[in-house]
Chains A and B, each alone.
Chain A
Amino acid sequence: MVEQHLSVLPILLPLLAAPIAIIIGRSYLSWMVATIASAGAFIFSWQLLLAALSEGVISYAVGGWPPPWGIELRVDAANAFVLLAVSSVSTLVLLYARDSIQKEIDQSQHALFYTAHLLCLAGLSGILLTGDAFNLFVFLEISSLATYTLVSLASDRRCLTAAFRYLVMGTIGATFILIGVGMLYMKTGTLNMLDLAERIHVYDSSRTINTGLAFIMVGVSIKLALFPLHAWLPPAYTHAPSAVTAFLASTATKVAVYVMIRFIFTIFGAEHVFHEMGMDIILMVLAIVAIFKCSYMATVQSNVKTVLAYSSVAQIGYMVLGISLVSVTGLMAGMIHIFNHALMKGALFMAVGAVFYRVGSVDIKAFNGLGRQMPLTMAAFTLAGLSIIGVPLTVGFISKWYLVTAALEQDQWVLAGLVLLGSLLAVVYIGRILEAAYFQKLPDNVDASKIKEVPLLMLIPMWILVLANIYFGIETSITTEAAGSAAEWLFQHTRLPEVAQ
């Protein structure tokens, strides 16, 4: 029974839990419901990944109607891998949120918070698993609406304008995707992704299909905050509640990266997108500009959450850079970085949330002297920060390693150098915060006895992520195998440009 429905369960569990959480209405109980549902989704997605690795592709026809007439859920290594990252971070964030939101969200809104979180998780899982281009739009909107709500739950009034800006940008992005999908549908008469891929070849030179491609790429780029369409991200991440930022930073944009990969490789075919349309150059340039511009922006901010938000935009640059290299190794580097970045940003934002929990501010000055007052939190921050920089024995190193390898495979020495240079900027912005935490003194007007470690329920998820950062940095076979087979699978099922072969 369970095995037969494995593909639909990770969507269904949070989807069913969300209405239940709001009916219950009590903070503690709805937290329980949300955590159990999310943990269940995590277990199912783990099984799903194993099944996908052994079977290749799992197709599930919702409603019993065969595709392309009905909606198909289509699981392969690529989306099962990202789904695992999303559901695991979601579960850890929910554990963490119990205490974290006490300080940031009004008690009466806790049930709404958990409901919105579950809806967001359901939406993201739906985006990942669906094999239907329009169904993807629907789930995209579920997750987006839930995200706007989550961002606006914070107590600072600036979260409202941030959420509004996010809403307008996000809706424009979604509408662009809708236009693009419409154009594909107009030419091919189908919405099923696999069916689209089969039928789209005939129209390679069609202006309608190419315009559709352009609109989808722009729409997805807004959603994944690719430079220069990232303007919504820093304010949204800065002003959202800490638990929300930890969840969004490690999942929402990553899922959008996956959507981009899916559209490029499965639907349009790598050859068409990269070779004929020349999108690889565009993506590569934008990615490099994103890495440097946003890493630089991160070094001059005074709010630590903003620092990390800009860092996120830069890290997305690395992922897109991996895709734009058009090779199995490059794509694999991008996929690994999706997973690894979820681990490190999740841990970093959780640590920042812990600081907010005790100090009540996330300004860089608020970090002064915290190394002594909150040793565990700051140690977690340090380790995750090292991972962002790309120090060996952390996951960050693995991502960078494969990215540099992919660049060197194509003799792109300059590119490899740029990647390493980008890490230097990460040293600067992480270093500033560590300097404040370890080498500055606690301000005199702060009562040192009040600043102590955060509750265990916040520390444990944070440290699980940190340890995962190190574990997957040493024991690399699991992630590389999954990401590698995902990348290989995507490449086997796409039309390759001649240059990469």
Chain B
Amino acid sequence: MAEIIDLVLLAMLALTALRVIFLKDLFAVVMLFGIYSFLSALIFVNLDAVDVAFTEAAVGAGISTVLMLGTLALTGRKEKPSKHSSFLPLVVVFVTGAALIYGTLDMPPFGHPDNPVHEHVAPRYIEESPKEVGLPNMVTSVLASYRGFDTLGETVVVFSAAVGVIALLGVRRKEEGETPESGLKEHHVLRVVAKLLIPLVILFALYVQFHGDFGPGGGFQAGVIAAAAFILYALVYGLPHSFAVIGPRFLQILAPIGVLLYAGVGLFSMYKGGQFLDYNMLAEDPIAGQHYGIIIIELGVGITVFAVMLSIFYAFASQAERSNVQ
């Protein structure tokens, strides 16, 4: 049964990808990408990767699509027909694809429990992590503890993205003159519903943040969801109102603080005599130490991701407003 669902979803993905190649309407291309992302999230669920599916749905279908639409609003939605010959790219793709297919021929069969991937490193994560780290969600254990250094790197990547976007688009300064009343003034229904939903979305973000140890979720997803709540607010009520709640300057401080919080846990464990990010040192009882460590670093991730996603949105939205003024 799982295989059939898998196959149907994969076929739909293939159709979507093919459609993207030939469409010239970029708006449709971006929407199809959103669909592509949602479909792959479904495949991830079907392949037991619930955390990944959650993230893909929030990021790929959510944030990425919003950013792409924001870009389209500034750059126009039609792709011009090109005189490019598509021969060379086609050759490159065929060669690469052939190499990959050749590579698949010796791959371990799909889904077999005795594949090498499941034998060498992974068994310890599955069998020992509930005892060593003390969390039922193994993905969180591996993410935050065994491979905590990767996750620190991931947080820094997000932070670098914010540095890049702010450097490129800047944050609008006050003195740049009057901005038109933005937001959706006429949409009373939207305004009421948004007012109703935003607190619930933030509540849900907090649930995802702190429930990540037991179920799918964690700092990253929570940060994205919380940012989405404020994005909704900014869209419906207008940027100036949103700036009044959380200003871009404040976010610029908040994003690095998350990174510092994460690295700070590592430094503290070094001070306590362990290796960098060794949570066992944080408390008398190693399991308790792991708990403290994971909660704090997940919080750091959540803070950084929230601040970065929101400031990236602010940067794009300010650009859109500026171009509206002109």
- Our verdict on whether A and B bind, yes or no, reads yes
Interface positions of A (Cβ within 8 A of B): 1, 5, 8, 12, 15-16, 18-20, 22-23, 25, 60-65, 68-71, 108-109, 112-113, 115-116, 119, 122, 126, 132, 134-135, 138-139, 141-142, 145-146, 148-149, 152-153, 179, 183, 185-191, 195, 199, 203, 206-212, 214-215
- Residue B154 interfacial (CB < 8 Å): yes
- Using A186-B116, A207-B106 as known contacts, say yes or no to A152 and B257 having CB atoms under 8 A apart: no
The answer to whether B118 touches A189, judged by C-beta atoms less than 8 angstroms apart, is yes
Of chain B, the residue at the smallest CB distance from A122 is B156
Of chain A, the residue at the smallest CB distance from B123 is A189
Residues of A contacting B146 in the complex (Cβ-Cβ under 8 angstroms): 63, 65, 69-71
- From residue 233 to 281 of chain B, which have CB atoms closer than 8 A to chain A? 252-253, 255-257, 259-260, 263, 266-267, 270, 274-281
- From residue 91 to 148 of chain B, which have CB atoms closer than 8 A to chain A? 99-100, 102-108, 115-122, 124-125, 145-148
- Using A189-B121, A208-B106 as known contacts, say yes or no to A141 and B157 having CB atoms under 8 A apart: yes
The answer to whether A65 touches B150, judged by C-beta atoms less than 8 angstroms apart, is no
Of chain B, the residue at the smallest CB distance from A71 is B149
The 5 closest A-B pairs by CB, nearest first: A211-B103, A19-B256, A189-B120, A64-B278, A138-B153
- Docked Cα-Cα span, A153 to B166, in Å, equals 11
- Residue B163 interfacial (CB < 8 Å): yes
- Residue B306 interfacial (CB < 8 Å): no
- Using A112-B166, A138-B154, A188-B120 as known contacts, say yes or no to A65 and B145 having CB atoms under 8 A apart: yes
Residues of A contacting B196 in the complex (Cβ-Cβ under 8 angstroms): none
- Residue B88 interfacial (CB < 8 Å): no
- From residue 197 to 249 of chain B, which have CB atoms closer than 8 A to chain A? none
Residues of A contacting B276 in the complex (Cβ-Cβ under 8 angstroms): 5, 8, 12, 60, 62-63
The answer to whether B168 touches A71, judged by C-beta atoms less than 8 angstroms apart, is no
Q: How many residues of B contact A (CB 8 A)?
A: 58
The answer to whether B256 touches A135, judged by C-beta atoms less than 8 angstroms apart, is no
- Docked Cα-Cα span, A190 to B123, in Å, equals 12
- Docked Cα-Cα span, A194 to B146, in Å, equals 17
The answer to whether B102 touches A211, judged by C-beta atoms less than 8 angstroms apart, is yes
Q: Among the listed A8, A19, A62, A186, which residue makes an inter-chain contact with B257, where contact means beta carbons less than 8 Å apart? A: A19
Residues of B contacting A70 in the complex (Cβ-Cβ under 8 angstroms): 146-147, 149
- Using A23-B253, A183-B103, A189-B117 as known contacts, say yes or no to A62 and B275 having CB atoms under 8 A apart: yes
Q: Among the listed B105, B160, B278, B279, which residue makes an inter-chain contact with A119, where contact means beta carbons less than 8 Å apart? A: B160
Residues of B contacting A113 in the complex (Cβ-Cβ under 8 angstroms): 167
- Residue B316 interfacial (CB < 8 Å): no
Residues of A contacting B266 in the complex (Cβ-Cβ under 8 angstroms): 12
Q: Among the listed B119, B148, B150, which residue makes an inter-chain contact with A189, where contact means beta carbons less than 8 Å apart? A: B119
Between A and B, 22 residue pairs with Cβ closer than 8 Å are: A8-B276, A19-B257, A63-B278, A63-B279, A64-B278, A65-B145, A70-B146, A71-B150, A132-B150, A134-B150, A135-B147, A135-B150, A138-B154, A146-B160, A146-B163, A183-B107, A186-B107, A186-B108, A189-B122, A203-B106, A206-B106, A207-B106
Chain B nearest Cβ from A104, distance in angstroms: 13
- Using A62-B149, A138-B154, A186-B117 as known contacts, say yes or no to A207 and B102 having CB atoms under 8 A apart: yes
- Docked Cα-Cα span, A375 to B105, in Å, equals 64
Q: Among the listed B103, B160, B277, which residue makes an inter-chain contact with A62, where contact means beta carbons less than 8 Å apart? A: B277
The answer to whether B167 touches A109, judged by C-beta atoms less than 8 angstroms apart, is yes
Residues of A contacting B164 in the complex (Cβ-Cβ under 8 angstroms): 116, 145-146, 148-149, 152
Interface flags for B48-75 (1: CB within 8 Å of A; 0: not) read 0000000000000000000000000000
- From residue 273 to 299 of chain B, which have CB atoms closer than 8 A to chain A? 274-281
The answer to whether B167 touches A153, judged by C-beta atoms less than 8 angstroms apart, is yes
Residues of B contacting A188 in the complex (Cβ-Cβ under 8 angstroms): 116, 120
Chain B nearest Cβ from A192, distance in angstroms: 8
- Docked Cα-Cα span, A25 to B248, in Å, equals 14
Of chain A, the residue at the smallest CB distance from B116 is A189
- Docked Cα-Cα span, A25 to B163, in Å, equals 12
Of chain B, the residue at the smallest CB distance from A207 is B106
Residues of A contacting B154 in the complex (Cβ-Cβ under 8 angstroms): 138
Residues of B contacting A208 in the complex (Cβ-Cβ under 8 angstroms): 103-107
Q: Among the listed B108, B160, B168, B274, which residue makes an inter-chain contact with A152, where contact means beta carbons less than 8 Å apart? A: B168
- Docked Cα-Cα span, A145 to B278, in Å, equals 28
Residues of B contacting A135 in the complex (Cβ-Cβ under 8 angstroms): 147, 149-150, 153
Residues of A contacting B120 in the complex (Cβ-Cβ under 8 angstroms): 68, 188-190, 195, 199
Chain A nearest Cβ from B240, distance in angstroms: 21
- Docked Cα-Cα span, A212 to B256, in Å, equals 36
- Residue B33 interfacial (CB < 8 Å): no
- Using A63-B275, A135-B150 as known contacts, say yes or no to A149 and B107 having CB atoms under 8 A apart: no
- Docked Cα-Cα span, A363 to B253, in Å, equals 41
- Residue B184 interfacial (CB < 8 Å): no
The answer to whether B275 touches A142, judged by C-beta atoms less than 8 angstroms apart, is no
- Docked Cα-Cα span, A219 to B252, in Å, equals 34
10 A-B pairs besides A23-B253, A60-B275 with CB distance below 8 A are A8-B275, A63-B275, A63-B279, A69-B146, A70-B147, A109-B167, A112-B163, A188-B116, A203-B106, A211-B100
Residues of A contacting B253 in the complex (Cβ-Cβ under 8 angstroms): 23
The answer to whether B150 touches A138, judged by C-beta atoms less than 8 angstroms apart, is yes
- Residue B313 interfacial (CB < 8 Å): no
Of chain B, the residue at the smallest CB distance from A134 is B150
- Docked Cα-Cα span, A146 to B253, in Å, equals 18
The answer to whether A63 touches B277, judged by C-beta atoms less than 8 angstroms apart, is yes
Residues of B contacting A20 in the complex (Cβ-Cβ under 8 angstroms): 256, 260
The answer to whether A139 touches B145, judged by C-beta atoms less than 8 angstroms apart, is no
- Residue B159 interfacial (CB < 8 Å): yes
- Docked Cα-Cα span, A22 to B145, in Å, equals 28
- Residue B161 interfacial (CB < 8 Å): yes
Residues of A contacting B124 in the complex (Cβ-Cβ under 8 angstroms): 69
- Docked Cα-Cα span, A43 to B119, in Å, equals 42
- Using A64-B275, A116-B163 as known contacts, say yes or no to A15 and B156 having CB atoms under 8 A apart: yes
Residues of B contacting A122 in the complex (Cβ-Cβ under 8 angstroms): 156
Residues of A contacting B100 in the complex (Cβ-Cβ under 8 angstroms): 179, 211
Most chain-B Cβ atoms within 10 A of its Cβ — which of A20, A122, A203, A208?
A208
Of chain A, the residue at the smallest CB distance from B286 is A64
Residues of B contacting A65 in the complex (Cβ-Cβ under 8 angstroms): 145-146
The answer to whether B263 touches A15, judged by C-beta atoms less than 8 angstroms apart, is yes
The answer to whether B104 touches A119, judged by C-beta atoms less than 8 angstroms apart, is no
Residues of A contacting B167 in the complex (Cβ-Cβ under 8 angstroms): 109, 112-113, 116, 149, 152-153
The answer to whether A211 touches B275, judged by C-beta atoms less than 8 angstroms apart, is no
- Docked Cα-Cα span, A189 to B118, in Å, equals 7
